[in-house]
């Protein structure tokens, strides 16, 4: 009965073992996972757009090949994650519709523009760096398919982070104009990168339950602090200034202290009012609608073969 199943589930979580698709799970656990995994998948897919804008304008064949590989990796991450959501009973087409209709979220970070080529480097360094901080602990998430997907995703994100940092290093060794371009991009992306980790712990409705279920392993503020501590020395090595006058080393705690985040801006972006929200969704909608015939043709072909095999 349900009480026994719940006991088995609790024991699996307590022993830090994985829940697999065929296992019984509480409805709240399933719902929370679908919400987080779908939001994560949507972020990977929408996240192709800001950098995808530079594919036709990358300054050399080498840079173009690297960027193309990176953007394709993001598509792959989206596909693994939609597959993980499907193991929970979700339907991929339905998730896409929910994204387009604004009923499911995607990461706030992808609603900011990429006006300069240095943005490609800064996204790799800061945005993918933040993604790694957030996602490495998810390799130990209690839901098996999600945790396993994260292993490969994190390996690829590490490559993305390094390519971004290497790009910025190259630009910093270039002209004054290039250095100014990097600094300007850092100034625009720093605060939104800190917002990626989600609201502060005391305003995060989902963290406590998600941690009790072993879906999340750390709180939003813990991971944000880890990211700042990791990134400040990298900024120093790069020779850029992080746009926060309150950033200071705190000897007693062994952490970098940072200034107040503009949570009103975060709320605006989540509500759909960021600089690029409308454009990102319009493009995703057009991709779904313009390519519907491909899906229909592939589905018809698969049906025909199923009948043939029967």
**Binding positions for ligand ACO, rule: CB under 6 A:** 35-36, 39-40, 43-44, 47, 105, 107-108, 131, 134, 195-199, 204-207, 210, 216, 220, 270
Residue 291 to residues 55, 68, 286, 296, Cα–Cα distance (Å):
21, 21, 8, 9
Structure tokens at 67: 């960027």
Complex with ligand ACO: residue 127 or 308, whichever CB lies closer: 127
Separation CA 144–CA 142 (nearest Å): 6
In the bound complex, what is the minimum distance in angstroms from residue 210's beta carbon to ligand ACO? 5
Q: How far apart are CA 84 and CA 149, in angstroms?
A: 8
Q: Give 59 or 102: the residue with its C-beta nearer to ligand ACO.
A: 102
> What single-letter DSSP state applies at residue 104?
S
Nearest-approach distance from CB 86 to ligand ACO, in angstroms: 17
Smallest separation, CB 303 to ligand ACO (Å): 33
**Rounded Cα distance, 130 and 226, in Å:** 9
Q: Least distance from C-beta 107 to ligand ACO, angstroms? A: 4
Residue nearer to ligand ACO on the CB measure, 182 or 196: 196
Residue 310 beta carbon to ligand ACO: minimum distance, rounded to whole angstroms: 40
Q: 36 vs 114, which CB is nearer to ligand ACO?
A: 36
Closer Cβ to ligand ACO, 178 or 206, answer by number: 206
Please, what is the Cα angle at 27 between 148 and 146, to 5 degrees? 10
* Distance from C-alpha of 264 to C-alpha of 30, rounded to nearest angstrom: 31
């Amino acid at each position: 009965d349900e009480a026994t199943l719940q006991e088995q589930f609790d024991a699996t979580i307590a022993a830090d073992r994985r829940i697999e698709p065929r296992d019984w799970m509480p409805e709240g656990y399933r719902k929370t996972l679908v919400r987080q995994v779908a939001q994560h998948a949507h972020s990977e897919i929408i996240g192709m757009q800001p950098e995808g804008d530079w594919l036709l304008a990358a300054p050399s064949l080498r840079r173009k090949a690297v960027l193309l590989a990176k953007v394709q990796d993001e598509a792959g991450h989206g596909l693994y994650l939609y597959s993980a959501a499907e193991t929970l009973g979700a339907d991929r087409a339905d998730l896409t519709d929910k994204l387009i209709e604004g009923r499911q979220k995607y990461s706030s970070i992808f609603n900011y523009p990429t006006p300069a080529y240095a943005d490609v480097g800064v996204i790799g360094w800061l945005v993918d760096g933040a993604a790694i901080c957030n996602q490495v602990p998810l390799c130990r998430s209690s839901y098996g398919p999600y945790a396993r997907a994260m292993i490969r995703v994190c390996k690829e994100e590490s490559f993305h982070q390094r390519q971004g940092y290497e790009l910025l290093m190259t630009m910093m060794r270039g002209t004054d104009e290039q250095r100014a371009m990097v600094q300007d991009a850092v100034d625009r992306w720093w605060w939104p990168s800190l917002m990626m980790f989600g609201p502060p712990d005391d305003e995060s409705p989902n963290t406590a339950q998600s941690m009790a279920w072993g879906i999340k392993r750390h709180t939003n503020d813990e991971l944000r602090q880890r990211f700042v501590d990791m990134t400040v020395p990298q900024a120093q090595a790069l020779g850029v200034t992080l746009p926060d006058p309150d950033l200071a080393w705190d000897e007693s705690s062994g952490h970098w202290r940072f200034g107040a985040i503009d949570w009103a801006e975060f709320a605006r972006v989540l509500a759909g009012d960021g600089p690029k929200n409308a454009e990102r969704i319009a493009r995703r909608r057009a991709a779904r609608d313009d390519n519907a015939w491909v899906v229909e043709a592939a589905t018809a072909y698969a049906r025909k073969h199923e009948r043939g095999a029967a």
